[in-house]
Structure 1
Amino acid sequence: MELRQLEYFVAVVEEANFTRAAERVHVAQPGVSAQIRRLERELGQELLDRSGRTVRPTAAGEAVLPHARAALAAVAAARGAVDELAGLVRGHVAVGMVTAGPTGTVADMLAGFHAEHPGVGISLAEDTSERLLAALREGRIDVALVGLAGPPPPGVSVQVLVDEPFVAAAPPGDPLAAHDAVTLQALCARELIALPRGTGLRTALDTACARAGLTPRVAFEASDPNVLARLSARGLGVAVLPTTVAAAHATELRSVTITRPGLRGRIALAWRSDGPASSAAAALIGHARLTLPGLAPAQTTDARSMSETSAPDSSSRRNS
C-alpha cells in the first residue's frame, strides 16, 4: 500500500469523478485509475462504485476512507514537524469562506500572510457554512470563515468576529414597515426572502421556527444578502437580513426587530480543535486570529455561550 494510492483514492471520493481527481493531483487519469485498482486488489475489495454518473465509495470504501485521510494527515504532520524544527514554513493551506462573506477583509488577511510566508501556497473556496464545517472536520480545508446560528460542531474551535441580530426588512409601503417589531409567528405568515439552507442565517431561522412549531414560507433564496435586500425593495417579500446589511439599504428598506424569539447570527473563524495538520496551517491560523477584526479572541465550543436564539425582546412599542 502506497501513500499515493491513498491520496488518489481520497481525491476521487471527494471529487466524485476520476477526471477532476486526476487534475487535482496533477496525474493523468489512467495513472489514477491504475493505482486505485492496485489498492483494491491488495485489499481484496472494490472501494469505488463506478456504475453511476458520479463515482461513490462502496461500503468497503467508506470503511477505508477515514483511515486513508488519517494516514495522509499523519504524513503531513510529520513533514510539518520537521519543517518547524528547521524553522521553515512551507507547503499549502486551504481556506474556506462563506458565500458573500467579507471578501475584502479575507483578501487583506491572506495578502498579509503571503507577504510573511511567500513559500506557502494558498487556495480559497466559497461555500455554505454547513459544507465548510464538514470540510474542516474532514481535513479538506485548514481554516474557514463561517456563519454560526448556534455552537460550533464537535471538533471545531472558533473565534467570533461578528455577532449581530437578524431583522425583518420591508419597503416603506409594506404593512410591516409601520411596526417597530414583529413576532416570529407573524413573520412566518409572510412570504420571506432568505439565504439558502446550510447558511448560518437560514439555520437560525429554520431552527427557531422548528422549535416554535412554525414553518417559514421562503419564496426567494439567494446566496448574497444584498440580493435579498434588493428583492425585498422591489416588493417581492420580507427579507431576513443581518442588521448591518439592512442598515446599508436603509433608503429602500425599513428594519423591523424580530421578537419571540429574536434571532442572532455570528461570523466566526473556525479551525479543527485537535490542531492544524501542518506548520503552514498553524501559521495561517495564528495570523488570521491576530489580524482579523472582531470580538475577543477566545476559543469556544460551549453551547451555552453560543445559543441559537436570543431572549425574547419585550422593549418594542408595537408588535405585528
Structure 2
Amino acid sequence: MDLRQLEYFCAIVEAGSLSAAARRIPVAQPTLTVAMRNLEREVRTPLLIRAAPGVTPTEAGRYLHEEARRILREVANATTHLHEMARGAIGDINLSAGQVYSWGHLATVLNAVTVAAPDIHVRLSDPPPLEILRRVGVGDDDLGIVTTSDPGRLAELYGDRLEFRPLCELPIVAVLPPAFSDAPDPIGLDELRDQPWIVPATPPSFPGMASLMERMWSSRGWTPRVIRKVSASETSLPMIAGGLGVALMPNQIGSLAGRSVELRRTVETVPALIAVAVWQRERAMTPATRTFLRVLTEVHRDDVARVPQVRT
C-alpha cells in the first residue's frame, strides 16, 4: 500500500465513481481500476461495492477511507513543516548568551525573531564566556553571544574552529559606591586609584572585562593596591553598593543596581566591550539558526557598520 493508492482510493470514494474520480484527479480510468484491484488484493478484502450508478465503500472501505484521509493529512503537514524548516521558518535553536549582552539587547532580538519566524523556538542559557565557547565548539549550542574587549584576539585564540561576527559596542562607565554621590561626571580614573577595585575573574584565555581594566590601569601607570575578584560584573553590584570597591562595567549592567550605586562617565576614553556572535566553523548551520543570525545582524545593522569586523 502506497500513498498514491490511498489518494486514488479517497478520490474514488469521495467522487462516487471511477469515471468521476478520473476526471477530478485527473488520471485515466483504467489506471484507477488497476490500482484498486491491486489494493484490494493487497489488503485481502473488498473495499468497493461496484454498481451501475457508481461505487460505495464496504465496511472495510469506510475504515480505510477514514485512515487514509488521516495519513494523507499527516503527510501533507509533515511536508509543509519540512518546507518551512528548509527555509528557516521553523526549528529549535540552542543559544547561549552572556548576561551583559542579554540585559541590554536580547529582548529586542527575540522580539524581532518572533515577528520574522514565530515558529522558531529558542532555548536560552547564560553560562560564562569560556563555557559559551566550549558549548558552541562541541555542538551543544547552535549559536553563542559573548562580550569581549578584543574580538581580534578572540579570533586568534579560537578562530581555528569558531567563526566570530562583532555585533555592537557596550559602552563602559565607572560604577561607584553611594559615598561618591557628589563625584564629578565625568570622573578621572586617577581619582579612583586608591579605591579597592572589583574585577570579574575572567581567565587569561578570554579577553574580557578584566583585561580591559588592566589595560586602563597600565595606561595610567598604576595598579590598585586592593583587587577583589568576583565571578561576573553583575556579581559586583551588591559589593559596590555596600561600599566595598569600584569597578568599570558596561552601562547596561551598572544600571541594574538603580540608585544603590553611582554611575559616572570617565574622563579617559575607555574602550567599549564588543558583543560578538559565535558559531562552529565546520558545523553545517541549520536553516533556523541562519534565520536567527540574519535577524540578529539586522537588529544590529547600524552597529555592525561601525564595529570593526574580524577575520578568522
Distance in 2 (CA, whole Å) between partners of 1:105 and 1:243 is 12
Aligned to 2:165: 158
Structure 1 residue 116: Cα displacement:
4.0
**In structure 1, what is the equivalent of residue 63 of structure 2?**
none
Give, in whole Å, the separation in 1 of the partners of 2:218 and 2:135. Answer: 26
The corresponding residue for 1:67 is none
> Is this contact kept in 2: 1:156–1:271, CA < 8 A?
yes
Cα distance in 1, alignment partners of residues 282 and 309 from structure 2: 13
User: Where does residue 102 of structure 2 map in the other structure?
Assistant: 102
Matches within 5 A, 1:46-61: none
Q: In structure 1, what is the equivalent of residue 93 of structure 2?
A: 93
Q: CA deviation at 1:283?
A: 1.3
Range with greater deviation from structure 2 (138-147 or 266-275): 266-275
Do the aligned partners of residues 208 and 93 (structure 1) sit closer, same or farther apart at CA in structure 2, a change above 3 Å counting? same
Is residue 198–residue 247 contact of structure 2 (8 Å, CA) maintained in 1?
yes
Matches within 5 A, 1:167-186: 167=174, 169-173=176-180, 180-183=187-190
* Structure 2 Cα separation of the partners of residues 105 and 289 of structure 1: 12
Aligned AA for 1:113?
A: V
Conserved 8 A contact 1:147-1:266: yes
- Paired residue for 2:149? 149
The answer as to 2:291 corresponding to 1:286 is no
| 2:246 alignment partner in structure 1 | 238
Q: 1:99 to 1:251 in 2, by over 3 A?
A: closer
With over 3 angstroms needed to count, the CA separation of the structure-2 counterparts of 1:284 and 1:124, relative to structure 1, is: same
Q: Which residue of 2 aligns with 1:123?
A: 123
Task: Provide the aligned C-alpha RMSD in A.
Answer: 4.2
> 1: CA distance between counterparts of 2:218 and 2:284?
35
CA distance in 2, matches of 1:110, 1:263: 27
Cα offset for 1:300? 1.7
1:252–1:205: structure 2 CA closer, same or farther, 3 Å change rule?
closer
Aligned equivalents of 1:196, 1:101: Cα separation in 2: 18
Select between 108-117 and 127-136 the one with higher mean Cα deviation.
Answer: 108-117
Q: What is the deviation of 1:136? A: 2.5
- Identity, in percent, stands at 12
Distance 1:84 1:245, change over 3 A: closer
**Which residue does 2:4 correspond to in 1?**
none
State whether residues 200 and 231 of structure 2, in contact with CA within 8 Å, keep that contact through their aligned partners in structure 1.
yes
Q: What corresponds to 1:265 in structure 2?
A: 273
In 2, Cα distance between equivalents of 1:262 and 1:106:
24
1:195 and 2:203 matched? no
Question: Which residue of structure 2 aligns with residue 133 of structure 1?
Answer: 133
SS of 2:106's equivalent?
Answer: helix
- TM-aligned CA deviation for residue 221 of structure 1: 1.9
Contact 2:167 2:300 in 1 (8 A): no
CA distances 1:258-300 after superposition (whole Å, capped 9, x unpaired): 75x8453222333345675211211111121113576135772
User: Given the alignment of the two structures, is residue 204 of structure 1 paired with residue 237 of structure 2, yes or no?
Assistant: no
Aligned in 2, Cα 1:276/1:217: closer, same or farther, shift over 3 Å?
A: farther
Report the TM-score when normalising by structure 2. 0.53
Question: Structure 2: which amino acid aligns with 1:96?
Answer: S
Give the Cα–Cα distance (whole angstroms) in 1 for the partners of residues 141 and 94 of structure 2. Answer: 5
TM-score, length-normalised on structure 1?
0.52
Task: Confirm or deny: 8 A CA contact 2:186 2:267 kept in the other structure.
Answer: no
Decide whether aligned partners of structure 1 residues 91 and 214 sit closer, same or farther in structure 2, where only a CA change above 3 A counts: same
Letter of the 1:253 counterpart: E
Tell me if the contact between 1:192 and 1:217 (Cα under 8 Å) persists in the aligned partners: yes
Number of matched residues?
A: 218
AA of the residue aligned to 2:227 = V
Larger radius of gyration: 2
Whole-angstrom CA distance in 1 between matches of 2:270 and 2:163:
26
* Equivalent residue number for residue 3 of structure 1: none
Residue ranges of structure 2 left out of the alignment (5+ in a row)? 1-81
Give the distance between the partners of 1:161 and 1:247, measured in 2 at CA. 18
1:253 to 239, 242, 262: 262
| 2:221 pairs with 1:221 | no
Structure 1: runs of 5+ lacking an equivalent: 1-81, 304-320
